[in-house]
Amino acid sequence: MALSMTRRALLAATALLSVGFGPAFAQDTVTLTYLVDDNPTNVATSEALKAAFEAENPGIKIEIETRPGGGEGDNIIKTRLATGEMTDVFRYNAGSLFQALNAPQTMLDLTDEPFQANIIDSFKPVVTATDGRIYGVPEEAAMGGGILYNKKIYAELGLTVPKTWAEFMANNEKIKAAGKTAVIQTFGDTWTSQLFVLGDFFNVQAAVPTFAADYTAGKAKYASTPAAMAGFQKGEDVFKAGFLNEDFGSALFADGVRMVATGEGAHYPMLTFAIGGIAQDYAENLPDVGFFAIPGDDAAKNGLTVWMPAATYISKTTAHPEEAKKFVAFIASTKGCDARSSANGATGPYLIKGCELPADVPAAVADLLPYFQQDGLTAPALEFLSPIKGPALEQITVEVGSGIRSAADAAALYDEDVKKQAQQLGLPGWD
């Protein structure tokens, strides 16, 4: 009888394991959704992070979703957060655009997570909300905003890297006279139109050191600050001089990367993350592309406007907070840096402790690094010093760069756009 009972118990236990617990084992795999913009370089990074993370964490799967860039993408992020329909994890800008997302209400607080010890302190303020808490980790390398240029064209025409705007325009004249496209613009992706304004901030700060603070307080305006209006003027200058590619109004970011890499054009105003796109799609041309900062009026004060990396955040609505934190911790590690580098090569300095660049960095990265290695040659972009960035800037800079609107009118219009944003944020001095 006892034996019979034992057998019966074993059979019952076996049935429970095969029927009752079998599905539970299958459910052990957690799927996290990860939203990134559809720029090919950033998609490649996310895929590399997914592959490396899943290899180490077989119980967690990453499902990548993509969204457009620019203003359309900003609206998608805000809408999905506001409606509680955000993915578990998402990639988005740090700095002023982050400040518009109401992080304390929409994201998980990551301040006290152990992986914060891996992150270089200079990054943390740009993902710190008004409550003083930290909500993100860096997802890519730090970037410079300036000019990618084709070294073969420079060598062919005997040109040297310009230190002033006048020298840059003189180079463009020689390139145009040789029958080549001097300046590439890609207004089909409107976000790419902003570089002459945003990338010029080192020169603004050099001329008016208090501009960022005065701008945030509502005391300084683009239209009434000549150094600040100069960025709009630069966009107007290159259009009026006839330096642009014929298809500047419809060309896309991918076209700009191709053109500067293959020598279809000489200069492409862009952030240095684009080096990753060249490494992916035009590896044989990578040595032909260099980089320099947007020149100002004084060669002795030539320096670089720096962008902090985009960040990865966790939505407060995630059903899997611990798994999401595990993924974010991986991104904020040396293994995360290795995954990025495997996808896009080295594009700039990482802000994760222990992440080193290889000795054989691309030529454009070699041109970028000296700005970081000497004091006084870099300044953060304005969006990392002020919470205000008007949402219509990319449309305004398209108009200036297309000859539709003058630089003076554009600066005044942007001041109005900025005023609306400042009032929405409740900043003093903007009544």
**Which architecture, in CATH terms, is 27-141+308-358?**
3-Layer(aba) Sandwich (3.40)
Angle of helix 334-344 relative to helix 321-331, nearest 10 degrees?
70
Given this model, what pLDDT does residue 17 score? Answer: 40
Question: What residue ranges of the chain have pLDDT lower than 70?
Answer: 1-27
CATH 3.40.190.10 domain locations along the chain: 27-141+308-358, 143-307+366-424
Q: How is residue 261 written in tokens? A: 């890499």
**Which architecture, in CATH terms, is 143-307+366-424?**
3-Layer(aba) Sandwich (3.40)
How confident is the model over 351-378, as pLDDT tens digits? 999 998 888 899 999 999 999 888 889 9
Contacts of 259 (CB under 8 A, 6+ apart): 181, 184, 245, 251, 265, 268
Alpha-carbon 366 to chain mean position: 20
Q: How is residue 9 written in tokens? A: 């118990």
Measured CA to CA in angstroms, residue 12 lies from 7, 25, 72, 130, 317 at distances of: 9, 19, 58, 58, 40
Given this model, what pLDDT does residue 357 score? Answer: 86
Q: How is residue 125 written in tokens? A: 């303020």
Contacts of 141 (CB under 8 A, 6+ apart): 273, 309, 340, 346, 347, 348, 349, 350, 351
Q: How is residue 389 written in tokens? A: 């960035």
- Maximal C-alpha separation, the chain: 104
Measured CA to CA in angstroms, residue 164 lies from 144, 200, 207, 377 at distances of: 17, 12, 14, 15
Given this model, what pLDDT does residue 227 score? Answer: 97
| DSSP code of residue 19 | I
CA separation for the pair 390, 267 (Å, rounded) = 27
pTM over 0.85: no
